[in-house]
Chains A and B, each alone.
Chain A
Amino acid sequence: MPILEIKHLTHTYSVGTPFQRNAVEDISFSVEPGEFLGIIGHTGSGKSTLIQHLNGLLRPTEGEILLNGKDIWAEPKKIRAVRFQVGLVFQYPEYQLFEETVYKDIAFGPKNQGKTGDELDHAVREAARLVGLRDEQLEKSPFELSGGQKRRVALAGVLAMEPKVLVLDEPTAGLDPAGRENLMANIREYHRHKDATILLVSHSMDEIARNADRILVLKSGHILMSGPPSEVFARAEELLTAGLDVPQITRVAMALRDQGIPIDPAVYTVEALEKQILALRRGGGLC
Chain B
Amino acid sequence: MLKDITLGQYFPGNTPAHRLDPRTKILLVVLYITALFTAGSFLAYGLMAVVLAVCVRVSKVGLKALVKGLKPVLFIIVFTGILNLFFTPGENVLWALGPLQITAGGLRNAAFMVLRIMLLIMGTFLMTYTTSPISLTDGLERLLNGLKRFHVPVHELTMIMSIALRFIPTLIEETDKIMSAQKARGADFESGNLMEKARALVPILVPLFISAFRRADELATAMECRCYHGGEGRTKLHVLRYERRDYVALSLGVLILAGVIALRVFGK
Contact = CB atoms under 8 A, between A and B. Distances in A.
A87 interface: yes
A201 to B, nearest CB: 14
A96 B182 contact: yes
A55 interface: yes
The SS class assigned to the B binding surface is: helix
Contact of A93 (B6, B181, B187, B203): B181
Interface stretch (A12-20, A219-227, A264-272, A273-281): A12-20
Interface in A96-115: 96-98, 108-109, 112-113
Choose among B178, B184, B186, B203 the residue with the greatest number of A CB atoms under 10 Å from its CB: B184
Interface string B178-215: 10111111111000000000000011001100110000
A216 interface: no
Contact of B207 (A52, A87, A98, A112): A98
B206 A98 contact: yes
Interface string B152-166: 000000000000000
Contacts of A97: 207
A52 B177 CA distance: 11
Nearest to B65: A17
Contacts of A14: 3-4
Given A80-B188, A98-B206, A112-B188, A16 B64 contact: yes
Contacts of B3: 13-14
A73 interface: no
Interface residues of A, number: 28
Given A96-B207, A98-B203, A87 B11 contact: no
A108 B211 contact: no
A36 interface: no
Interface in A77-126: 80, 83-84, 87-90, 93, 95-98, 108-109, 112-113
A18 B6 CA distance: 11
B206 A113 contact: no
B185 A90 contact: no
A24 interface: no
Contacts of B180: 52, 57, 90
Nearest to B180: A57
A157 interface: yes
A109 B185 CA distance: 5
Nearest to B187: A112
Contacts of B11: 18
Interface in A124-177: 143, 157-158, 161
A15 to B, nearest CB: 9
A157 B185 contact: yes
Contact of A95 (B6, B12, B65, B211): B211
A161 B186 contact: yes
11 contacts: A18-B11, A84-B186, A87-B184, A96-B203, A97-B207, A98-B202, A98-B203, A108-B182, A108-B185, A109-B185, A158-B184
Interface of B: 3-4, 6, 11-12, 64-65, 177-178, 180-188, 202-203, 206-207, 210-211
Given A80-B186, A108-B187, A143-B210, 10 more contacts: A13-B3, A52-B180, A83-B185, A84-B186, A88-B184, A96-B178, A96-B185, A98-B207, A112-B188, A158-B185
Interface of A: 13-14, 16-18, 52, 55, 57, 80, 83-84, 87-90, 93, 95-98, 108-109, 112-113, 143, 157-158, 161
